[in-house]
A and B are shown apart, each in its own frame.
Chain A
């Protein structure tokens, strides 16, 4: 038997009907810094494109970004666009400022992309009411440009996927 997820509608929690919006205004949270492995991923997000490294030999998608394919150890990895569609593996409604500058409430989710089993992104769910978030729900990517002045950084967040 499957039970509904724990209700966030208790003391100290935001109301379930509260709708989560993408970030607006000056970004005060942590700014992602790319490295040589992750640069293609972050560059893609800046172009509003979700790209994941893929092995040129055995075609395995690899995330988080790294130098090698864990299946065949090939170093021939290249970024490849993916659909941006997936399902929520798990989530939590955060009701504390766990990272400096990220104000609660917000929903952290693990989204498994449809391209490959357990091909997972850590993300936030937005454009959804807190009480409507469920494990297994279909979601699609939403690109959120961060207002950080001269630099440019974009996060991949997810929202309910209403496409058939």
Chain B
């Protein structure tokens, strides 16, 4: 049985301001979210003995304050665990590291922070170096116009469509599910902007088969998560939520373009590992925050987690089964498609708030078991959260 089962709890979650353009620094957003998470937990900076972040500011294509900055900005002193992740199991790399550290007894209470600053008028090219010189792995794809983002995952979506008949309307059903849920979440960037299938189908195709509305909505925003040992849960202000099981599987390769069968993502391996660590099964899950960086990934997650067979996720969403009131509400905060790209951390925060029963108009009644799943393509983490 998994060593980490129920050993770690989410003590607190916190959001910053989330908007298309805040005019603020990523550090400012990160500190705001951190304060909110500590307040949620009823803890202070003095209670922290660990900090974990992803990405590593230096090497990643993605933005975010460095761990050095955050250590200084939060006034941390002498922590027992600190790590900024370069490459790892998707957007939860830092959370996984923090969980492992707590289970190993290396730290008791760790804060994980993801701050995202919308990149305006910039190319997503790794390293920050000259984008006209493609080195390392980028040399084999950037000159062909596929450095990052939509075209990389469009290749996966196209193959899934080829093998299983996935249609534009299937992907659109994911987008509409998220957008409908965003109408119930005042924090969502698309709150107050409902969407019809007609409007979705009329939106630009940016990298076939993906439309602009199949891509998550870039925003400025940060989320912080405070994790602690389960035996400290009684001291917390908020109702603790257990990390019940965790999977961050690696499949045949870590290379996005050289993955042999693009109809199945690393999510299959992550799901297998997660299910192996629990007696619970798909039928026990009340609410699922599935990664929706691109709508095609959400379809694959649902299949790879075993809720439906391969190729059945599109019709499942089209029948409304992922909506609030449906079989399994998915992306109840509007996801990243409807709520804004919080790069996975929104998944964990919403899962925790659902299990605590704090979601107001979008609350899944009696939710006790929630999934938070991040990543797509060759990287994935699946996490099962349980009340108590």
Q: Are B204 and A94 in contact (CB under 8 A)?
A: no
- Chain B residues, CB < 8 A from A42: 139
Q: Quick check: is B149 within 8 A (CB to CB) of the other chain?
A: yes
* Shortest Cβ distance from B260 into A: residue: A118
* Shortest Cβ distance from B165 into A: residue: A3
Q: Which of B153-161, B177-185, B359-367 touches A?
A: B153-161
* Shortest Cβ distance from B159 into A: residue: A90
Q: Quick check: is B134 within 8 A (CB to CB) of the other chain?
A: yes
Number of interface residues of A (CB under 8 A): 49
- Chain A residues, CB < 8 A from B258: 63-64, 118, 120
Which residues of A, 22-37, contact B by the 8 Å Cβ criterion? 28-35
Which one, A2, A13, A63, A99, contacts B125 given CB within 8 A?
A99
Q: Are B142 and A99 in contact (CB under 8 A)?
A: yes
Q: Are B144 and A110 in contact (CB under 8 A)?
A: no
Beyond A89-B159, A100-B132, whether A29 also contacts B139 by CB under 8 A is no
In whole angstroms, what is the CA distance A13 to B168 when docked? 15
Number of interface residues of B (CB under 8 A): 51
* Shortest Cβ distance from A8 into B: residue: B208
In whole angstroms, what is the CA distance A110 to B155 when docked? 8
- Chain B residues, CB < 8 A from A68: none
- Chain B residues, CB < 8 A from A5: 158, 161-162, 208-209
* Shortest Cβ distance from A14 into B: residue: B205
Contact with B along A93-121 (1 / 0, CB 8 A): 11110111110001010100000011011
Which residues of B, 139-172, contact A by the 8 Å Cβ criterion? 139-151, 154-156, 158-159, 161-163, 165-168
Which one, B132, B140, B202, B207, contacts A31 given CB within 8 A?
B132
- Chain B residues, CB < 8 A from A33: 133-135, 139
Q: Are B205 and A122 in contact (CB under 8 A)?
A: no
Which one, B125, B137, B139, B262, contacts A90 given CB within 8 A?
B262
Q: Quick check: is B45 within 8 A (CB to CB) of the other chain?
A: no
Which one, B140, B146, B167, contacts A99 given CB within 8 A?
B146
Q: Are B205 and A12 in contact (CB under 8 A)?
A: yes
Which one, B134, B159, B161, contacts A32 given CB within 8 A?
B134
Q: Are B155 and A98 in contact (CB under 8 A)?
A: no
Q: Quick check: is A87 within 8 A (CB to CB) of the other chain?
A: no
Q: Are B135 and A35 in contact (CB under 8 A)?
A: yes
Give, as a whole number of angstroms, the nearest-CB distance from A148 to chain B: 10
Q: Are B143 and A90 in contact (CB under 8 A)?
A: no
Q: Are B133 and A92 in contact (CB under 8 A)?
A: no
* Shortest Cβ distance from A38 into B: residue: B139
Q: Are B146 and A122 in contact (CB under 8 A)?
A: yes
In whole angstroms, what is the CA distance A34 to B136 when docked? 8
Beyond A30-B131, A108-B151, whether A95 also contacts B205 by CB under 8 A is yes
* Shortest Cβ distance from A134 into B: residue: B162
Q: Are A6 and B204 in contact (CB under 8 A)?
A: no
In whole angstroms, what is the CA distance A91 to B141 when docked? 13
Q: List 19 A-B contacts (CB under 8 A).
A: A1-B165, A3-B166, A10-B205, A11-B202, A29-B143, A30-B125, A30-B133, A30-B147, A31-B132, A32-B139, A32-B140, A32-B142, A33-B134, A64-B258, A89-B262, A90-B159, A98-B149, A99-B142, A122-B141
Interface residues in chain B, defined as those with a beta carbon under 8 Å from any beta carbon in chain A: 123, 125, 131-151, 154-156, 158-159, 161-163, 165-168, 201-210, 212, 255, 257-258, 260, 262
A32-B140, A33-B139 known; 4 new pairs, CB 8 Å cut-off, are A8-B208, A29-B132, A34-B139, A94-B146
